[in-house]
Amino acid sequence: MRFRDGQWLVAEGVQVQYAEEVYRITPTASGKGISLLCPTRKILNRGNTLNLATLSIDIEPAFDGVLSVETTHWQGAVRRGPDFDLFPAGRPEVDAKVTKTESGTTLSSGTLSATVSGKPHEFEIAFHPTGGKKPLTTLLNRSVGLAYTPAPSTPMQLADMRNFRHYIFTQTTLAVGESIHGLGERFGPFNKVGQRVELWNADGGTSSDQAYKNVGFWMSSRGYGVFVDTPGRVELEIGSERCCRLQTSVEGQRLRWFIIYGPSPRDILRRYSVLTGAPGSVPSWSFGLWLSTSFTTSYDEETVNSFLAGMRARDIPVEVFHFDCFWLKAFQWCDFEFDRDMFPDPRGQIGRLKAGGLVKKVCVWTNPYLGQASPVFAEAAARGYLLRRRNGDVFQWDLWQTGMGIVDFTNPDARAWFAACLDRLFDTGVDCIKTDFGERIPSEDVQWFDPSVDPERMHNYYAFIYNKLVYEALQRRYGANEAVLFARAATAGCQRFPLTWGGDCESTPEAMAESLRGGLSLGLSGFAFWSVDIGGFEGSPPPWIYKRWVAFGLLCSHSRLHGSNSYRVPWTVDGDDQSEEGCSATLRKWTHLKARLMPYLFSQAQESVRGGLPLSLRAMCIEFPDDPTAWTLDRQFMLGDGLLVAPVFEEDGTVEFYLPRGKWTNFFTGEVKEGPGWFAETHGFGTLPLYVRPNTLLVLGKEGETRTVYDYTSDVEVRAYFASDSASAVLVDAEGKTVGTLRVKDGEIIGKELLSGSSVINVVSS
């Protein structure tokens, strides 16, 4: 929200009051932090202390390299939930220290410090590495404040606050050349400077400023990150109100955020994962190809069988088959019952699919809404399982499903009922769940079962409790590391419940680029695993777009063919072109390549979980933070730390991409290009710019491998690319457990005894 009209004027209808000086510094209640009393005018005499607002700024050490900053106007405001589940794995010990000098007061939390200026009648708080003077960012004059709208003409009007909206805001400085990234799955420009961003989950597709996954965490190119600790609506002006500041504002009496020091993006993400939770692990089978029925298409058991038989006949292995919405009877979504007119024997059908080797796992679509035509609607409403309006009515609308209600997950009995419905699906043979929707959660005229929660804070937070419930139900049935979601809505902490996909994109190259930007931004928000609707969701992709998207989608961490009103099996896209450039051949090539990459991918997945890193899409700046160009790249990504991928967006196969410093090797041809620099290539449908980073040991499955799950240490190929004595590759088994490490020492690879079968070692580039 903008509170000013340019640099000099206040916006019409707004009153703004700023923290003008730090009047007093005292210890916080914990005794480890500092509390700043900041009046909204300079106190030059005793009379200045009357009839004015003050802001309290509490700076607390969180753990090494992390400080929390909470600004409060009226301390008596009720603290309503829900709150983010911070430190889910336990809070680390903190080494905090407060020092005072003539120049100011410094609070240190390990490697990060905040220094409050000691100059009289001044407001300035600098955040900097401990022992260093160069600030990461700073709160300067008129950078912390409160605002009313409409502007009261007298303080007496504020005796009744029902007619006023009250905001708290802070403005951290943006340095020259600084770029800002993350904030969830955002489809616009990769660098957020110059943008206005509202953190409010919405079902808005992939081609606007709305997002399904809003995460109040951003990363700066200057070596720090910020996490805004509220699930409510947050409005950000990122160099868009004042060009040199990033403004964060919330409606209410308090605003808390954490500043997280790096200095590298890896360090920032690791610390962020300690704060909000590390990504959950995913099983090796989930990396295989997922095939969907698509959304509004017509299908029954015969159709499903024909899809899977057709894929097998074309040597395209399908790991997971997904039944989208119409496995349920029309108007009865989501009552967890197969439409018996189309699927008379769901348990038998799923059993036959698996027994026949057509597929290993089955996924079904769900959402947290109940259409009133469903037989379970009346039951859920009567038992208090549905969200209500303030007058006691069940909250209903005709958006999406006729008369639909929303499951109230603040009710423990509703959660238990929902989990029991899932258990019945698991009994049928369902292995994983697509948790769709959860964005359009009303925040006005609603009453949750838990009266302590704030409806506005529940809007974004609903995605967390929804996905957590389903993920934990899967864990109880199948094991801690076997649970897999396909979620659309998310907020901070949802990285703990993998995985997510990019939502409803169009079948265009522009939408593919939008999706790529969304995946990059989400990866910089702490999410390790991400997928996209290959071919685009809306519309029917022409063959060339389908094939370009196949290459992109099979190099994401997870890969799913899914559409809206048209199928995504390849032979329906191009009239069953049998050539090597056809859709079937293209899909086969890339599916097989991903199978070969599994020893590398699954090892990298374990590192991603440990470090809070994106496996794919991994922004280039994570691996090359000292290369200024890396912070600008939004049409390419890293797949793990050793492979660079540049999708092709042109029908003629032309593509431009950037290689950082070093000798990079083309995975397909062995050609070496030396960076830094931009390069142009032209590709058919079976290749794209896939370059191996120098000093890489790349472990691959054997030539011709088509499976996703196998022994990743037997019959493998180890390729060395300009590998020096610092090169290594961690070997894992199909459960993700470490088997050992291959290393280069004195020009030789040691640890070869960990490999079995007919494994080979090839020096590709030296």
Joined together, the tokens standing for residue 442 give: 């009303």
Q: From CA 139, how far away is CA 259, in angstroms rounded?
A: 12
Beta strand segments in 447-489, E: none
Which of 169, 202, 221 corresponds to the end of one domain? Answer: 169
CA 539 to chain centre: 26
Mean pLDDT taken over the chain: 97
- Residue 34 belongs to some domain of the structure: yes
**Can you give the pTM of this predicted structure?**
0.97
Closest CA to 442 of 478, 376, 396, 506: 396
Q: From CA 268, how far away is CA 745, in angstroms rounded?
A: 31
The per-residue pLDDT for 684 is 98
504 carries an active-site annotation:
yes
- Residue 324 belongs to some domain of the structure: no
Which phi and psi (to 5°) does residue 102 adopt? -60, -30
User: At what angle are helices 543-553 and 509-523 packed, to 10 degrees?
Assistant: 10
Find out whether the peptide bond into 375 is cis, omega within 30 degrees of 0: no
pLDDT tens digit sequence for 292-328: 999 999 999 999 999 999 999 999 999 999 999 999 9
Which of 150, 169, 188 corresponds to the end of one domain? Answer: 169
- Answer for the pair 304, 627: CB distance below 8 angstroms, yes or no: no
The active-site residue, picked from 436, 506, 533, 623, is 436
pLDDT at 4 over 90: yes
Query: DSSP letters along 125-150, please?
Result: EEEEETT--S-SEEEEEEEEEEEEES
64 carries an active-site annotation:
no
Tokens 């169009």 belong to residue? 506
- Residue 33 belongs to some domain of the structure: yes
The active-site residue, picked from 504, 533, 538, 634, is 504
Domain carrying residue 724: 695-766
Which of 169, 198, 230 corresponds to the end of one domain? Answer: 169
Tokens 């702490």 belong to residue? 526
- Residue 463 belongs to some domain of the structure: no
β-strand pairing of 214-220 with 224-228: antiparallel
The per-residue pLDDT for 200 is 98
The per-residue pLDDT for 641 is 98
Question: Into how many domains does the chain fold?
Answer: 2
Confidence band, pLDDT 50/70/90 cuts, at residue 133? confident
pLDDT tens digit sequence for 381-405: 999 999 999 999 999 999 999 999 9
Which phi and psi (to 5°) does residue 428 adopt? -80, -15
- Answer for the pair 184, 521: CB distance below 8 angstroms, yes or no: yes
- Residue 765 belongs to some domain of the structure: yes
The enclosing domain of 26 has a CATH number of: 2.60.40.1760
The per-residue pLDDT for 124 is 98
Average pLDDT over residues 633-659: 98
DSSP state of 693: P
pLDDT at 11 over 90: yes
- Residue 752 belongs to some domain of the structure: yes
Give the count of alpha carbons within 13 A of 265, CB side only: 28
Q: From CA 766, how far away is CA 763, in angstroms rounded?
A: 7
Beta carbons within 10 angstroms of residue 381's beta carbon: 17
Q: From CA 94, how far away is CA 110, in angstroms rounded?
A: 7
Confidence band, pLDDT 50/70/90 cuts, at residue 664? very high
715 carries an active-site annotation:
no
- For residue 363, what are the contacts with CB-CB under 8 A and spacing of at least 6? 290, 320, 321, 322, 323, 430, 431, 432, 433, 434, 484, 486
- Residue 30 belongs to some domain of the structure: yes
pLDDT tens digit sequence for 257-273: 999 999 999 999 999 99
Q: From CA 351, how far away is CA 301, in angstroms rounded?
A: 12
The per-residue pLDDT for 264 is 98
Q: From CA 456, how far away is CA 251, in angstroms rounded?
A: 10
- Answer for the pair 205, 504: CB distance below 8 angstroms, yes or no: yes
Q: From CA 263, how far away is CA 111, in angstroms rounded?
A: 10
Q: How far is CA 120 from CA 34, 139, 140, 436, in A?
A: 18, 16, 14, 55
- Residue 73 belongs to some domain of the structure: yes
Average pLDDT over residues 631-655: 98
Percentage of the chain beyond pLDDT 70 is 100
The per-residue pLDDT for 360 is 97
The per-residue pLDDT for 574 is 97
pLDDT at 220 over 90: yes
Beta carbons within 10 angstroms of residue 684's beta carbon: 12
The per-residue pLDDT for 540 is 96
The active-site residue, picked from 439, 454, 514, 705, is 439
What is the rounded end-to-end Cα distance, in angstroms, of the chain?
55
